Structures are given as C-alpha cells and as structure tokens.
Amino acid sequence: MRGLLLNHYYSTDKSIRNALLLTVFVSLGLHLAQQSIALRAAAFVPFILMIQPAFEVLKHDAMSGWNKFVFTLPLRRSQLVRSHYIWLLLLLATGTLIAYGLFFGTTFFIDSPSADTFYNFSLRAIGIVLCMGALSYPLTFWWGTEKSDQITLMSVGFGLGMFFLVSMGLLLFVGADAPSYDRIFSISLVAVSLLVYLLSYGISVWIYKNKEG
Amino acid sequence: MSSILELEDVTKRFTNSSFALKGISFSIPYGSIVGFIGENGAGKTTTMGTIIGTLKKDDGVIRMLGKEVDRDQVAAKEDLGVVFDNMNFSKNLNAVQLGHVLSHIYQRWDASQYRGYLERFRLPTDKNIEHFSRGMSMKLSLAVALSHEAKVFILDEATAGLDPVGREEILEVLLDVVKDKDRGVLMSSHITSDIEKVADRLIFIKNGEILLNVSKDSLVSDYAILTCTPEEYQSVPQEIVAAYRKKDDGIDVLVTPIDTLPATFNRRPFSVDEVTLLLMRGETK
C-alpha cells in the first residue's frame, strides 16, 4: 500500500504543489474579503482544488500503462483500488488542514463574518467531494480514462444531486425550523457521503477483480 | 521438478473476438531460455497475459515452481519478473523514485542490485523516465525485473526497437540470469535472430495453437528445409513432412526426422527465421 501511495505522490507531486499554492492564494484572498459569500467560497475552494491530483493519477496510470503493470505486482486487486480511495482521503485531509489553517490564521488577525457558516460549508464541500469520488472511481475503472470528461460531469452532478437529496430528506424528516438545522444538514451530508464512498469502494473492487489488462 | 513454469491445456476466449487460445501446453526447464515465436495476433501476448495475471484464463493449469497459480495469488508474483514491449512505469518518476516505490511493494526488493543495474545500463537516476529513450526504458524495465529475486522472467518483445548494441546488452543479461540453472525465461520477439542467439528451446504459435515446440539443438540436428519442385515434393515421404509452403519458384518443406530422408534431396542450412516463415505462412501436417 505504501508503495502505491508513494507512486501516486511522485506521479502528481508537481500538481499537488501547484494546487497547494493556488489554494492558499485563492483562499487567503477570499478570507481577506471579509464577505459572507467569500467565506462560503473559501470553505469550498481548498477541497475542490486539492482533490484534482486524485483524479489526475488515474489518467497518468492509464497513459503510462502502470495500470496494466500493477497487475503483475504482488498486490491484491483490492489493495490497488484501496490505494486510490485512500489517496483521495489524504488529499481531502490536506485540503481540510489548509482550509481550517487559513481560517483560524486569518480570524486571528481579522474578524470573520461567521465561524458557523465556514464550518457548515466546509463540511458540505467534503460531502460533495466524497460523492464525486464515489462515482468517479467505479466509472473510471469500468469505462477507462478516455471518458474522463463525461465522468467528471456526471460526478459533479452526482455530488450536487446527493446534496439536494440529503437536504430534501432532512426537510421531510426533521424540518427546516429545527434548531441547528444547518449543522445537522452538514453533518448528515458528510455521514451519507462516507457511506456512499464505502459502497463505491466495494463496487470498484468488484469491477477491478473482473478487469483484464 | 524439472520445469520452473508449466502450462497445461490453457484456454482463453474473448467475447468480442473469434481469437482464442486453444489448449496451450508447454514447460520451461530450470536454467532455460525459451523463445516464443509467432506473428502479430498469434497468441504470444495472450499466453503471457494468462501467466502474469493481466488476463484470466478460462481453463487449464499454470504451475510455477511446481505450484499451481492463478492470477490473484500475490505470493507467486514475487517470483515473476515481467518486461512488456513498452515501459509501463509512471512517467513522472525518476529511476530512484521508482526504486523507492517498488521497495515497498516487493518483499525481496534488492536496492543495491537495482542500483547496480542502473549503473551497468548507464541509466540516469535524476531524469524523469518519460524522457528515457526506448533502449533506456527497456533496460529500466529489465533492471526492475532483475532486482527482486524473481525466478521466472516473462519478456514480451523486450528487444523490439532497440539498436544492435542495446539488444546484445539485454541478451547478455538474460544469459547471465539462467547460468545458475535456478531461473527460467520465456521471451517473445519478432527478431528471431535474438531468440536464435540465446534460446535453447523454441515454441512456434499460430492462431492460438502451438505448432512446434522443439529444442534448438533438435531443430538443427533433426530438421531440414528442402526446396523442391511439385514433382519432387510428391516423392518426399509424407510422414516426415512437418510443414510446407508453396512459393512461385517451388515448395519449401520442413522435414523431420531427417535420417529417413532420401539422399537425392539436398539439405541446406537454414535459420530460425526461415522456419518461422514456413510455419506461419505455410501449411502444417
């Protein structure tokens, strides 16, 4: 597993560095704007930018033929799949560190419009990103990276779809006027997304086990 | 246990193709280099795919080091060294980074041996491998295959596209690999002269079937190619005709055994290339 993660890292280290710089630059600008809408964007941007290398690895693997060579390595197919799912989680964790680091860093010097807004929107961003990964991986393993554009569009649609689905579910069962509705919704979205991500991992393993190089 | 790798009636069919492997059986003795010869689409890569696990065989048995293996057996892959016709490593890595990656994957990864091969092949360690020439790429693939104490080496067109010096370098390494008689190599190549130089056994495959499986010594001593007219062909004992090919200027005939060949027929020296052409383009008996 460590070898695979290391390979993912080496394959995309330049992109990770670029994403880090861009994330810090854009997020900092948004925080300094001291606007509620900018703070919401600052909660989203780190996650959206930082996960790009996770999907880029799939393209690199296909273009180089590494996705064929790995079948000859002493690794279980489930390990190959797991390395991708963990890689996305690691990038997501990096995005979380940057997002919260910048938030706490900037609020130390300037007033933030609302900490709750930031927490809620960052959780929602995590939920949407997890859903995007949950659809992207099995579809890429099944269709190949040639259809990556369609897969990206579908995964964005799926992420937003899950967002509205969880929102509608909560409105039905909890009601919008429930105390701390925003917090309940954000946590629920992350919880549902994690379940979908786990389910997606199972499906991807099944696809990979039947895959031929 | 005299074979390091054995295939027994291995079959493989594809849903979108009429091509199939039709009961492939052969073995690679310890200390042997076996040349796998056939035209494009004959089934070489498919056969190798079933051995290395990129393809799932439908039927048959594959034994490595005496143990039956299937494509999901992780431990067996420690003993397998694979070189494809193209380098298949992530292109953004350099050779040192690739070594780091593989040291976490192979239990028996030998970093000093890997460094030794990088030096021997004069491969740069700080250059991204996407900038490697074809020769450098194939040498890097070979260095990887040789650095984790593999026992069975599968090389699919590993010398294709290399200059004569690069090819010779790779062939020398292969001879070195088998000299202790504890490893074995299966190599396919369209450059039959390469195979002729190093292989001690030759397997000819066509349309998913093995046409001929013969030791190089036996091919030299027990086989002959005759070029004769249609009339002369009629007088060749049919039981010794292994294959024949009609040409504009006569018929080429591969015969074995040759001790019953009438003295009126002239035997001529032949190359593996000629046998390949005769088997691939001609008819077998």
Instruction: Identify which of B56, B82, B102 has the shortest CB distance to residue A212.
Output: B56
- Residue B55 and residue A213: Cβ atoms within 8 Å? yes
Query: What pLDDT score was predicted for residue B262?
Result: 75
Taking the C-alpha atoms of residue A93 and residue A192, their distance in angstroms, rounded to an integer, is: 18
Looking at this protein, which amino acid is placed at residue B90?
Answer: S
Whether residues B105 and A74 touch (CB distance < 8 A) is answered with: yes
Q: Kindly determine whether residue A72 and residue B52, on different chains, have CB atoms separated by under 8 Å.
A: yes
Question: ipTM value of the model?
Answer: 0.85
Contact list, A65 vs chain B (CB under 8 Å): 84, 86-88
Other beta carbons less than 10 A from residue A107's beta carbon: 13
Of B54, B77, B87, the CB nearest to A74: B77
The pLDDT of residue A113 is 66
CB contact under 8 A, A65 and B87: yes
Decide: B273 and B193 in contact? Cβ < 8 Å.
yes
Chain B contact present for A82, CB below 8 A: no
What integer pLDDT is reported at residue B186 of this predicted model?
96
- Is B82 an 8 Å CB contact of chain A? yes
Sign of torsion over alpha carbons A136, A137, A142, A146: positive
Instruction: Look up the pTM and report it.
Output: 0.87
Q: 3-class SS at A154? A: helix
Contact B101 A61 (CB under 8 A): no
Does the pLDDT of residue B224 top 80, yes or no?
A: yes
Check pLDDT > 60 for residue B84.
Answer: yes
Chain A residues 88-147 within an 8 A CB cutoff of chain B: none
Query: Which pLDDT score, from 0 to 100, does residue A80 have?
Result: 93
- Tally of domains within chain A: 1
Share of chain A above pLDDT 90, in %: 59
Chain A residues closer than 8 Å to B56 by CB: 212
Testing the interface with A: which of B105, B138, B151 to mutate, by most A Cβ within 10 A?
A: B105
Using the Cβ of A211 and the Cβ atoms of chain B, whether some distance falls under 8 Å is answered with: no
Report residue B254 as tokens: 């591969």
User: Do B132 and B87 meet the contact criterion of CB atoms below 8 Å apart?
Assistant: yes
Averaged pLDDT, B132-150 = 91
User: Which residue matches tokens 């030096």?
Assistant: B119
What's the rounded Cα separation, in Å, for the pair A41 and A20? 16
Confidence of residue A85 (pLDDT cuts 50, 70, 90): very high
pLDDT, one tens digit per residue, over A89-140 is: 999 999 999 999 988 888 888 776 678 888 899 999 999 999 999 999 999 9
CB contact under 8 A, A10 and B103: no
List the domain range (segments joined by +) for residue A163.
2-209
